[in-house]
Amino acid sequence: MSTSVEVILLLLATGAATVNSGIGWINRPIFVFGLGITCIVFTYIHLVVVGAVGGWIISRKQQPPSI
């Protein structure tokens, strides 16, 4: 997803948690916002790591075997 879509959905979820303040720690807006930011950051970290590993694997397969 685009970063702007992720941020908009995060703000909507945080707003919903603010309006619907239920019982429990998981319904607190700060928890929802923190979890959302954490998920977004780890998504991009995962993208970079998998891209690096995948690029390394592809570059290793394209090299001719050394004798």
Q: What is the pLDDT, as a whole number, of residue 3? A: 86
Q: Name every residue whose Cβ is closer than 8 Å to that of residue 36 and which is 6 or more positions away in sequence.
A: 9, 10, 13, 14
Cβ(31)–Cβ(25) below 8 Å? yes
Helix (H, G, I), strand (E, B), or coil: what is residue 45? helix
pLDDT for res 37: 96
pTM equals 0.75
Query: Which pLDDT does position 53 carry in this prediction?
Result: 94
45, amino acid identity:
I
pLDDT tens for the chain, residues 1 to 67 = 688 999 999 999 999 988 887 667 777 889 999 999 999 999 999 999 999 999 998 888 876 766 6
